[in-house]
Amino acid sequence: MPVEYRILGPLAVAVDGRPVAVTAGRDRVVLAMLLLYPNRVLGAGELVEAVWGTDPPVTARGQLQSCVSRLRRLLPDGVIGTDPAGYRINVAPGELDAEVFTRASGDRDARRAALDLWRGPACAELDAPAIRQAAAVLDERYALAVEDWADLELAAGNERELTGELGGFVERFPLRERLRGQLMVALARSGRQADALAEFRRARELLADELGIEPGEELQKRHREVLNGEVRASDQVRCLPRTVGDFIGRREQIDRLLAGPAVAVIDGMAGSGKTTLALHVAARLGDHYPDAHLYVDLQGHSEGDPVEPAAALLALLRQLGLAAGEIPLPRSERVALWRTEAARRRLLVVLDNAASSAQIADLLPAAPGSFALVTSRRRLSGLDGVRVESLPVLAPDEAVALLERIAGDRVRAEPEAAAEVARRCGFLPLAVRLAGARLAHRPRWRVSDLLRRLGEAALPELAAEDRTVAGAFILTYRQLPPLTQRVFRLLGVYPGAEFDAYAVAALTALAHDDAENQLDDLLDVNLVEETAPDVFRMHDLVREYARTLAAELPGNDRAAALTGVLDFQLHATAAATISTLSESMWRDLEAPVPARPDLVVPDPIARLERERRQLAGFVAAAGRTAYAWKIPRAAWQFLYFRGYMDDVYELQTLALAAAEAIGDRSAIATVANYLASSYARAGRMEKAEEYLRLSIRLRTELGELGAVGSGLMNLVNIHVAQGRFGEAAETLREVNRSQMRVRLRDRTAASLQLAMSVDVLSLLGRHAEAAYYSRRRLFVGIEHREETELAASLTSLQRARYLSGSLPAAAAHRYLDVVLRLAERTGFRSIQADAHNDRARLLRDAGRHSEALAEHRQATEIATRLNDVRHEAEFRHAWAITLRLLGDRDAARAMFERSLGAARTARFAYSIARAQAGLATCLDAGDPEAERLRRQAAELFDRMGITYDER
């Protein structure tokens, strides 16, 4: 499992590409210390001093062990090792940015990339003296690397491009005289002698004010050289086509191209700025190739045919000064002559708009000492030993900056409108340029006027004279084979932004392997991009172009493609439902047979994690069809148990509108049941009950008694949340009546009934009975090997047994270890929160209050992210008890108040009463407010028929 550690700036960690949140301040200090001394044993005393300074508490070593334990839970196994002398972190090559920087800064070609690793001062946010002392060493290495890099850039004649960057570095390191001198040289060579002299004056004033000294001999020498005119402006001759003066961004790509091999290929979609980048890089490199700078447009994507290699050779040789009569006709002889002439020179060759690898194979300089830049819309995979740079769109801020350079100050005056124009242009350089040109040639337009013209269909507006974005796409599309054209057009029907080969196969009626091949072909010409392995998307403007083509297809073809992909999405989504809940799901969906049984997704859970953000688009595209409510129903279990409650609410709301439009009462009942779950999780119990009763009423009218039983079980949960325990118990008895038992024989409903029974019995303090029903639920999970069910039942079982006194604390900890592993593996976040809260209780009962606080924090943070205000109230209540037992009454009171606020938001009477009772314990015995709170809590507990249990 790959790990990334970043200390060159704020401390950050990622495991397997996902950020890891190290939130506790002490944990961050310990981790930073270990990373500042990687693969070395740090004594416990060193770490204690780093965290607490010279006056640590008596429990410091125990707390340090807790910090290390928490870090071990966040990081892969074996990363943090224990030694008799202390601890060490095992860092592999390439995992720590500081180690990568140290290695790369010694490599001339990699030095620029090494500097880009820095995001600010090392461990910027941590002010522990031990950390700042070690981080200062890294900061000094950074400054030295900057100066060494600047020397190389000046030696290469790149002073014009260097002045801006050096100015930023001087601002960061204002007292470094070598750096200031380098800036003076760059300014003077760029013809800015006055600015160079002004830099010396600023340096002298700063050194006098800060240190009380004069500039050193080296900086004074630089000053004399500039003053005497000894540092002269360079006079380079550029023989390439004119490059744009408003070039923006592409820093990483430029650095890689400047440091690359003798041949570099820049590919990208139409309008991505390939030629502009190639010419900019060529201008940067021109001084290194003094003999000739050559350029040929190979017309790989143009109205005419691509240039033949023989014709391209003729153009190159003529540019070298050979007369037409000196150039032979046979291609093989031209190749030989070209290689002979190129071998005698140091050449810079730009081969623009290549059609294929075969077209340029004989055009590349073969001898060392020359450099070739190739651009193409197609991925040229047939070339060996070349650097390939696939060009993305601009970053949002870069796109806005380009718009401003073209259109002027109006862009800065309307930043929000400018950002939206850039977005509507898809951050594509050509589109931004054309939009900027329209604005520049209409001086009375505001940016918002341009934005209004772009509307929802930007392509028609992105044109200037004979240049259009759509025209660039057309040239690429026309060169596709007929089948690939058809696939591209049908992608204009696809409802989502991202797609894989399974979805494309369903959309186009192709076999999966054939769909994969077509996607590869579209990827090769940059009409789609691969955002993750086997996951693709279109640029927004390309998708708009595909939609215009799709609109020309017969209506039946579009409808068949959409139906195929909706049917596939339904079954792929349903496949992510856990087995214990699948029976009820398929019953609600009436077990439709998939239109394409051959399209079986290998990992439906991972796919749905990716697809969930675009499910609403599928529902909208489904219109007045059953897919509009069936897809949200199929996604419910995955979304609900992973805490994606905004998605649940949005999809079920859309589904209800669709079911009502269709007039399907059974569908309305199904959707209302699951819409209620989103209201319940948000604490809006009245709305949840309203939709549940609607569902139950419709099910009753339709004679669907089994489904009525499920609705009543959900109603039990609402009654419990509202403190209506008598009604909850009565509803449970109603569910157990004979007419409901048919439905309750399936494992879904049985599990639900058992879970509700456990909740009610636990709240009534009948823990032994709750343990009995937890065991029964556990058997269901074991029988069907359902890890989510196992995690939930083990949580309730250990809690009931521990509270009843039949389970020792050590055994309860082992239960929770298993629960957390299961919950993390299945993504069952609400159970993770429960497990952390239960562990906090165990630690508190053992007197390990500091460790308990960390568990309380984790539980509460998860509940907050899930928008689960009911459990947030419970977790904050438990947290407050621990704070009070620690003796921090003020913090405990504040936490009880937050628990009470959450409980009132959730309208959960039981939590309200507990919070009131807890808050009273933090007030003085004679305080009237304490008496009022105790009285209110007692009245609520009496009304609910339960006894207050602080735990």
Q: Is the pLDDT of residue 629 over 70?
A: yes
Most confident of 425-429, 598-602, 791-795: 598-602
Task: Report d(CA 826, CA 882) in Å as an integer.
Answer: 30
Nearest to 480 by CA among 551, 378, 376, 353: 378
> What's the pLDDT band for 465 if we cut at 50, 70, 90?
low
> 903 is written with which tokens?
């409980």
Element (H, E) at 419: helix 415-424
Average pLDDT, the chain: 87
Q: How do residues 283-329 score in pLDDT, each as one tens digit?
A: 888 778 878 888 888 888 777 788 899 988 988 888 887 877 888 88
Q: How do residues 632-655 score in pLDDT, each as one tens digit?
A: 999 999 999 888 889 999 999 999
**Main-chain phi, psi angles of 528, to 5 degrees:** -130, 160
Q: Is the pLDDT of residue 941 over 60?
A: yes
Distances (CA, A) of 805 to 149, 265, 768, 771, 800: 69, 71, 9, 11, 9
Chain center to CA of 210 = 44
Coil, helix or strand at residue 389: strand
Q: What was the pLDDT predicted at 937? A: 87
The CATH topology of domain 251-390 is Rossmann fold (3.40.50)
CATH number of 480-553: 1.10.10.10
Q: Is the pLDDT of residue 901 over 60?
A: yes
* 121 Cβ neighbours under 8 A, 6+ residues apart: 9, 135, 139
Task: Report d(CA 852, CA 300) in Å as an integer.
Answer: 66
Neighbours of 2 (CB within 10 A): 11
Q: What was the pLDDT predicted at 852? A: 94
The CATH topology of domain 3-133 is Arc Repressor Mutant, subunit A (1.10.10)
Phi-psi sector, 510: left (phi>0), alpha (psi -120 to 50), beta: beta
Task: Report d(CA 822, CA 788) in Å as an integer.
Answer: 7
How confident is the model over 592-606, as a mean pLDDT? 92
How confident is the model over 446-474, as a mean pLDDT? 79
Coil, helix or strand at residue 145: helix
Q: How do residues 667-687 score in pLDDT, each as one tens digit?
A: 999 999 999 999 988 888 889
> 382 is written with which tokens?
């047939």
Residue 925 CB-density burial (10 A; 0-12 exposed, 13-18 middle, 19+ buried): exposed
Q: What was the pLDDT predicted at 236? A: 42
How confident is the model over 885-911, as a mean pLDDT? 89
Task: Report d(CA 271, CA 472) in Å as an integer.
Answer: 7
How confident is the model over 135-157, as a mean pLDDT? 83
* 487 Cβ neighbours under 8 A, 6+ residues apart: 504, 508, 510, 515, 518, 519, 522
* 444 Cβ neighbours under 8 A, 6+ residues apart: none
How confident is the model over 847-858, as a mean pLDDT? 94
DSSP single-letter state for residue 96: B
How confident is the model over 406-424, as a mean pLDDT? 88
> 879 is written with which tokens?
């947290």
Neighbours of 129 (CB within 10 A): 11
Higher pLDDT, 449 or 500: 500
> What's the pLDDT band for 245 if we cut at 50, 70, 90?
low
* 513 Cβ neighbours under 8 A, 6+ residues apart: none
> 391 is written with which tokens?
């060009």
Nearest to 728 by CA among 737, 739, 717: 717
Residue by residue, DSSP assigns 48-78 as HHHHHTTS--TTHHHHHHHHHHHHHHHS-TT
CATH number of 832-951: 1.25.40.10
Q: Is the pLDDT of residue 949 over 80?
A: no
How confident is the model over 364-381, as a mean pLDDT? 87
How confident is the model over 71-99, as a mean pLDDT? 90
Q: Is the pLDDT of residue 896 over 60?
A: yes
DSSP single-letter state for residue 243: P
Coil, helix or strand at residue 375: strand
Q: Is the pLDDT of residue 109 over 60?
A: no
Task: Report d(CA 612, CA 616) in Å as an integer.
Answer: 8
Whole-prediction pTM value? 0.61
* 922 Cβ neighbours under 8 A, 6+ residues apart: 880, 884, 889, 892, 893, 896
Q: Is the pLDDT of residue 656 over 90?
A: yes
Half-sphere exposure of residue 486, counting CA atoms within 13 Å on the CB side?
14
> 272 is written with which tokens?
């991505």
Nearest to 167 by CA among 188, 197, 148, 187: 187
> 146 is written with which tokens?
């900057």
Task: Report d(CA 595, CA 507) in Å as an integer.
Answer: 12
The CATH topology of domain 157-227 is 1.25.40
Half-sphere exposure of residue 748, counting CA atoms within 13 Å on the CB side?
21
> What's the pLDDT band for 851 if we cut at 50, 70, 90?
very high
Distances (CA, A) of 771 to 788, 793, 948: 18, 9, 20
Higher pLDDT, 713 or 847: 847
Q: Is the pLDDT of residue 240 over 80?
A: no
Q: What was the pLDDT predicted at 433? A: 86
* 147 Cβ neighbours under 8 A, 6+ residues apart: 176, 178, 179, 182
Task: Report d(CA 309, CA 300) in Å as an integer.
Answer: 12
Q: What was the pLDDT predicted at 782? A: 83
Element (H, E) at 485: helix 482-491
Q: What was the pLDDT predicted at 632? A: 97
Distances (CA, A) of 636 to 307, 577, 613, 743: 56, 8, 13, 20
Q: What was the pLDDT predicted at 158? A: 67
Q: Is the pLDDT of residue 481 over 80?
A: yes
Distances (CA, A) of 750 to 746, 756, 773: 6, 10, 11
* 916 Cβ neighbours under 8 A, 6+ residues apart: 900, 933, 934, 936, 937, 940
Element (H, E) at 708: helix 705-721
